[in-house]
Amino acid sequence: MFVDIVKISIKAGDGGNGAVSFHREKYVAAGGPDGGNGGKGGDIVFQADDSLSTLIDFRYKKKYTAQNGAPGGSKRSSGKSAPDTVIKVPRGTIIKDSETGRLLADISDDGPVIVARGGRGGKGNMNFATPTRQIPRFAKPGYPGESFDVTLELKLLADVGLVGFPNVGKSSLISVVSAAKPEIANYHFTTITPVLGVVKYGEKSFVMADIPGLIEGASEGVGLGHAFLRHVERCRLIVHVVDVSGSEGRDPADDFEKINRELANFSEELSQRPQIVAANKSDIATEEQIEAFRGFIEAKGLPFFVISAASAQGTKELVAAIAGELEKLPPITRYEAVPLTFEELEKQAAEKRSFRIKKEDAHFYSVEAEWLAPILSTVNMDDYSSLQYFQRVLRYSGIIDALKEAGIEEDDTVSIFDFEFSFVN
C-alpha cells in the first residue's frame, strides 16, 4: 500500500531534575551542597532513508516519545543526557505542525533534522548556595520537552514528472527509458502509486516519476489524481504525455487543456512549470492527427515530440531534449522551515505558565497549573529557604496576584495538587 500523508504525535524527552544533596565525608565538617544538575531530554530527530518509499509504517505506530534525561546525583554529578529518538522517513518528506500548518522541516538532504527539542536539565542545589543561604534544600525540576502533533507529507524528489490521462502510455514510456518496471495493461489506472525511474543520458542521469493518471476534476478529488498531484510539485520539468491517436475517442488537444487546467487548479505555480509534450501512440495515429496536434502545441510555444513508447520510437530524442532542458533549470525545490512569529512565541510562553484559580467555597481556593507539578516535587516543605523559593515562583508567575483578585483573605486555604497552605498576605 502506498501511503503519502499521515498524522503522528511526537514528544521530546523532559530534562532530568536537579538533585538536593550535601557533601558527606569523614573528617570534613559541614559539607556544603553538592546536588548535581539533571541531564537533557532526548530530541525527536527525522532523517531521510532511501530504502523507504512510503509512509505506511506510520499507519501502525502513531506516537513517538524520546527518553527523559537522568536526574542529577550527589558529589556534583550531572545526570546523563538521554539519546535522541531518530525517526526514518522517505527522502522528500515534509513535516508540518498539524494544528497551524506551519512547515517545520523538509527531509530532502542527508543530514538529521531536529523537529522537537528535549528539555534542559534542572539545576541541583549546589547552584543555589550563597553567603546568606548556605544550605539550600531545594533544586529545580527539568524543563519539559516539546510535544505536538505533526503531519508527514511525502512529495517525491524527481526531476521530471510524467502527467497525462490514464492509459496514454506513461508507464510504457518510463519502462523504456529507465529500469523501472511498472504494471502495464490496456485499462485505466494500472498505475496506482507513483513510480520512480533513473534515466541515464551519457554520463548524466535524472529521476523521472510516473504520476498516476489524472482525469478532469482531479484537483477536486476525482479519480486518483487528487492524491498524487502533490508529487508533481517538486518536479523541475513536466513531460505531458498525450494519446495523439485518440484511441479512446478523446480529442488530444482537449486532453492537453484539461490536464493543464487541473495542474493550475491545484497550484498556480505548478501550471507555470516548463513542459515538453510527447505525442504517444504515433504508430496507430494518422499523419493528419499528428500534424494537427503538432500545430496546436507549437502554437503555444512548447517543445513537441512524436513517440511510440510501445516500439521505443522517438524516445531517445525525447530523453536528449529532457536532459538538455534540465541543464537550464534550477535544482529540485527544497522547502524552508517557517520560523515562529514573535506573537506565536509569546503565546507559547504564556501557555507554559498558564493557570486557573477556582474558589471552591468562602475560604478555600484551588490552583490548577500543570507546570507546577515538577516544581512541587523538588520543594522541601520543612525547609524555610525551599519554601521561600516556592513562594517566589508563585509570585513571579502571577498566581499570588490572581488569588488576591479572586478575593482571598488572610488565613484562607490554598490547594495546589496535594499541597495545602494558609494564605499570608
- The backbone torsions φ and ψ at residue 66, rounded to the nearest 5 degrees and listed phi first, read -85, 160
Burial class (CB in 10 A: 0-12, 13-18, 19+), 214: buried
**Cβ(163)–Cβ(211) below 8 Å:** yes
**Cβ(159)–Cβ(237) below 8 Å:** yes
Rounded Cα distance between 137 and 239, Å, is: 71
State yes or no: pLDDT of 259 exceeds 60.
yes
Rounded Cα distance between 423 and 55, Å, is: 55
Rounded Cα distance between 355 and 368, Å, is: 6
List the alpha helices (DSSP H) in 267-358: 268-271, 287-298, 315-326, 342-352
The closest of 1, 4, 91, 6 to 49, measured between CA atoms, is 91
**Cβ(15)–Cβ(140) below 8 Å:** no
From the CB of residue 264, how many other CB atoms can be counted at a distance below 10 Å? 14
pLDDT per residue over 175-218, tens digit each?
Answer: 999 876 655 444 343 444 678 888 999 888 999 988 775 654 44
State yes or no: pLDDT of 221 exceeds 80.
no
pLDDT per residue over 77-108, tens digit each?
Answer: 999 999 999 999 999 999 999 988 899 999 99
Q: Which cell is 15 given?
A: 530534562
Cross-strand bridge partners of residue 6:
152
Percent of the chain with pLDDT over 90: 46
Cα radius of gyration (the chain): 32
pTM above 0.75, yes or no: no
Cα 228 to chain centroid, rounded: 18
Task: Indicate the range of 52-56, 338-342, 394-398 predicted with least confidence.
Answer: 338-342
Which of the listed ranges 337-346, 378-387, 410-419 does the model predict with the highest average pLDDT? 410-419
pLDDT per residue over 328-352, tens digit each?
Answer: 999 888 888 887 776 776 677 667 7
Average pLDDT over residues 300-327: 94
Q: Which cell is 389 given?
A: 523559593
Residue 28 pLDDT: 66
Residue 186 pLDDT: 46
**Cβ(60)–Cβ(31) below 8 Å:** no
pLDDT per residue over 2-44, tens digit each?
Answer: 677 899 999 999 999 999 998 887 766 667 899 999 999 999 9
Structural domains present in the chain: 1-154 (2.70.210.12), 160-326 (3.40.50.300), 342-422 (3.30.300.350)
DSSP assignments along 124-136, one per residue: PGGGG--SS--S-
E-strand ranges in 85-203 read 85-89, 93-97, 103-107, 113-116, 147-154, 160-163, 195-201
The closest of 120, 119, 135 to 37, measured between CA atoms, is 120
Task: State the chain's mean pLDDT as an integer.
Answer: 86
